[in-house]
Amino acid sequence: MLSEDWIPTPLIPQEERQKVEIVEPEPEPRFASLRVLSRFIRFLSIRWWLRLIGRYDKDASAVRLRGVFEDSGGLWIKLGQLLSLRTDIFSAAICRELSKLQYQAQGFPSRFVYQTLHAELGEDLGLIFESFQEAPIAAASISQVHLAVLRDPHLQVAVKICRPDAAVSFMRDLRNIGRLIRILESFSVAPHIRWSDAYWELEQMVQEELDFRYEASNTQRMRKVLKNHGVYAPRVFFDYSTRRVLVTEYIHGVLMSDFIQMGQNDPGRLIQWCRENSVNPRKVGRRLFLTAMRQLFEDNLFHADLHPGNILLLRDSRFALIDFGTIGQSEKGFLNKYLASLRALAVHDYAKAADYTLGLAINPPAISQMQPLRTELIRSYRYWEARTHLRGLNYHERSLASAGSDSGRIMFKYQVQLTWAFMRISRTWATLDASLSFLMPKANHMQLFQIYFREAGQRRHRLRDVIPKTVQAIQQFSTTVEEYNNILGPMLRWQGLNLLALASKSERLALFGASIFRMLRTLSILATLFALYIFLRLHHSDILIIDHPFLNDFAMGFKGLFHQGDWIIILFFAVVLIAYLSKIIRGLLKP
């Protein structure tokens, strides 16, 4: 459980908090689909008319679009939040407004709370809870949260209860969104958005959020991971957690959202609270950034919704994370390329960063567009790096999300699409930026990258002093070969696909390239065999069967030039080279 030494003093007293409004659930609306459709038709009609008369304003139009999603409510709000990630497709104004979409925090009456608890946990709740607070402390689109005290163990807990109408309303909205997407796809409306992929993301999100067992499992997994980061996550009580009820430890901390609000409304009071609790905002911001990087790249298990309402500040610049309804994992190949692109940016290798970014795309660019696309990406990274050092720019102009938006727009310009996996990670950075922009408004992301990669290297090489230098050299060589394979592999595949689409002559070019690499592989094999003969002649001549005067004299010329361990390294490098040449050949010949 959370140590009492970490619990801070309250920032906002309970009596000053705004209470959750209790509203009776509305009956199923008639013609709900037509109502939603009419809102979007009206928005598009107004937009078309304003363009026609020359009074169109993109910012005002973006605000109206956000209003359409808010009025539609339910799952439409989550769809709007999902679309706000596509900074490569939509304007900055639209993405900014859609990212502001929030469900109106309204609770539901206590009779529905007890109905759900009795149905899920049994009739006699007094055997489970010593006390239960009827007024909710928080509400969201799918649930609301109550405070309670368990009998065994005797602890204060947060009890999340699913809304009585959540499953029905969300599944209805999901069906309507599915119908709309099928219509858009049938008329080829904005196919570059990849509507079916967006629908799949939304479907997975609904499935996980409507079943609290996913969140219980996620919380337990993240609790183990975050413990190594020095970050706290609540304990889950699985005996009392079901599909519609989740019971977790209640953490006495200060919400980051309250921290930011107090900083904007009463800075002096916030400064006094920080002094009382030994909280350094910049130190908290740096720890937040570093744990997000570590979750993503070292654990491959990350909190995908790090908005200020899911971060709790503790004493001594510590913090806890809550609400693990949405966590992310990535495929290894994608993660390696994304990590390599950030590592390349950290060392100012913009050409390599551009190559890795191209490797993250779904579809390859045309051969004629490869070089100009790559050039523009390199320039955008240079420009972003220059912005990170400028004084006077706001945080968001220098953030990682800004660099991602710039590169995304360039890719979209050349009709090259990024994956939704990339967008999920972009969402993580975008939501985290709301806290980082307040905690360290002058942050330099290039320096933060360098700090992370230095610390990650220290964690990875803690046994460096006891590992022989030869093994270190082998590891370094393998890493280098893997990096270039990650870059060259997809690019060779893309080029091969483009060539095959042109004509039968292109097929001959691919075969010709494969034959060149075959020749290089053959030469490498011969050189490896010759190096093996020299090694055996110099150090293990008793096991040699071949005995040729010319070869013997030639081998003796290498005597004293390399030690026995050096020969082992050379032979290892040669074998790895042959293996990767074979891999390239298979890539060229793959249909």
Query: Mean pLDDT highest for which of 326-335, 344-353, 426-435?
Result: 344-353
User: What span, in angstroms and rounded, lies between the C-alpha atoms of 566 and 545?
Assistant: 23
Judge contact between 419 and 362, C-beta under 8 A: yes
Q: What is the mean pLDDT of residues 239-251?
A: 96
User: What span, in angstroms and rounded, lies between the C-alpha atoms of 287 and 283?
Assistant: 6
Residues 513 and 392 both lie in one domain:
no
Residues 116 and 100 both lie in one domain:
no
**Predicted local distance difference test score (pLDDT) of residue 174:** 87
Q: Does 356 reside within a domain?
A: yes
Q: Does 30 reside within a domain?
A: yes
Q: What is the mean pLDDT of residues 482-487?
A: 54
Please write the tens of the pLDDT for every residue from 137-154. 988 888 999 999 999 899
The least confident of 327-336, 386-395, 551-560 is: 551-560
Confidence of residue 550 (pLDDT cuts 50, 70, 90): low
Tell me which residue of 87, 90, 85, 121 sits closest to 101, measured CA to CA.
85
DSSP string computed for 448-498: HHHHHHHHHHHHHTTTGGGS-HHHHHHHHHHHHHHHHHHHHHHHHHHHHHH
CATH classification of the domain holding 241:
3.30.200.20
Q: Does 336 reside within a domain?
A: no
Residues 421 and 486 both lie in one domain:
no
**Predicted local distance difference test score (pLDDT) of residue 500:** 43
User: What span, in angstroms and rounded, lies between the C-alpha atoms of 251 and 232?
Assistant: 9
Q: What percent of the chain has pLDDT over 70?
A: 84
Q: Which domain, by its residues, includes 70? A: 22-106+167-208
Q: What is the mean pLDDT of residues 463-490?
A: 51
User: What span, in angstroms and rounded, lies between the C-alpha atoms of 360 and 491?
Assistant: 11
Tell me which residue of 149, 173, 172 sits closest to 159, measured CA to CA.
149
Residues 134 and 250 both lie in one domain:
yes
Q: Domain boundary residue among 401, 432, 460? A: 460
Residues near 310 by beta carbon (within 8 Å), at least 6 away in sequence? 256, 303, 321, 322, 323
Total residues found in the chain within this entry = 591
Confidence of residue 508 (pLDDT cuts 50, 70, 90): low
Q: What is the mean pLDDT of residues 498-511?
A: 54
Q: Does 315 reside within a domain?
A: yes
Q: Domain boundary residue among 436, 460, 484? A: 460
Tell me which residue of 117, 19, 89, 100 sits closest to 66, measured CA to CA.
100
Angle at 341 between CA 337 and CA 343, to 5 degrees: 115
Q: Does 382 reside within a domain?
A: yes
Residues 455 and 521 both lie in one domain:
no
User: What span, in angstroms and rounded, lies between the C-alpha atoms of 231 and 380?
Assistant: 35
Query: In DSSP terms, which residues pair with 129 in a beta bridge?
Result: 150
- Phi first, then psi, for residue 236 (nearest 5°) are -105, 135
Query: In DSSP terms, which residues pair with 131 in a beta bridge?
Result: 149
Q: What is the mean pLDDT of residues 279-287?
A: 96
The least confident of 108-112, 144-148, 171-175 is: 171-175
Please write the tens of the pLDDT for every residue from 254-271. 999 999 999 999 999 999
Q: What value does the mean pLDDT of the chain take?
A: 83
Residues 251 and 121 both lie in one domain:
yes
Judge contact between 485 and 583, C-beta under 8 A: yes
Residues 158 and 246 both lie in one domain:
yes
Judge contact between 62 and 91, C-beta under 8 A: yes
**Predicted local distance difference test score (pLDDT) of residue 503:** 44
Confidence of residue 244 (pLDDT cuts 50, 70, 90): very high
Q: What is the mean pLDDT of residues 376-402?
A: 85
Please write the tens of the pLDDT for every residue from 358-377. 888 877 777 778 889 999 99
Q: What is the mean pLDDT of residues 36-64?
A: 88
Looking at per-residue confidence, does 27 or 337 come out higher?
Answer: 337
**pLDDT > 60? residue 20:** yes
Residues 228 and 259 both lie in one domain:
yes
CA distances from 180 to 3, 61, 68, 195, 196 (A): 51, 21, 15, 10, 11
Residues near 404 by beta carbon (within 8 Å), at least 6 away in sequence? 87, 426, 429
Residues 118 and 135 both lie in one domain:
yes
Residue 466, Cβ density class (10 Å: 0-12 exposed, 13-18 middle, ≥19 buried): exposed
Q: Does 95 reside within a domain?
A: yes
Query: In DSSP terms, which residues pair with 246 in a beta bridge?
Result: 160
User: What span, in angstroms and rounded, lies between the C-alpha atoms of 189 and 177?
Assistant: 15
Looking at per-residue confidence, does 89 or 584 come out higher?
Answer: 584
Residues near 88 by beta carbon (within 8 Å), at least 6 away in sequence? 405, 408, 409, 411, 412, 418
**pLDDT > 80? residue 418:** no
Q: What is the mean pLDDT of residues 171-187?
A: 83
**Predicted local distance difference test score (pLDDT) of residue 416:** 80
What token pair was written down for 584?
């390239």
Tell me which residue of 249, 242, 21 sits closest to 118, measured CA to CA.
242
Query: Mean pLDDT highest for which of 17-21, 76-80, 364-368, 416-420?
Result: 17-21
Task: Say how many domains are in the chain.
Answer: 4
Q: What is the mean pLDDT of residues 492-512?
A: 54
Query: In DSSP terms, which residues pair with 327 in a beta bridge?
Result: 303
Residues 539 and 480 both lie in one domain:
yes
**pLDDT > 80? residue 422:** no
Q: Does 311 reside within a domain?
A: yes
Query: In DSSP terms, which residues pair with 342 in a beta bridge?
Result: none
Residues 49 and 157 both lie in one domain:
no
Q: Does 308 reside within a domain?
A: yes
**Predicted local distance difference test score (pLDDT) of residue 544:** 64
**pLDDT > 70? residue 50:** yes
Confidence of residue 217 (pLDDT cuts 50, 70, 90): very high
Q: Domain boundary residue among 460, 490, 518? A: 460
Residues near 553 by beta carbon (within 8 Å), at least 6 away in sequence? none
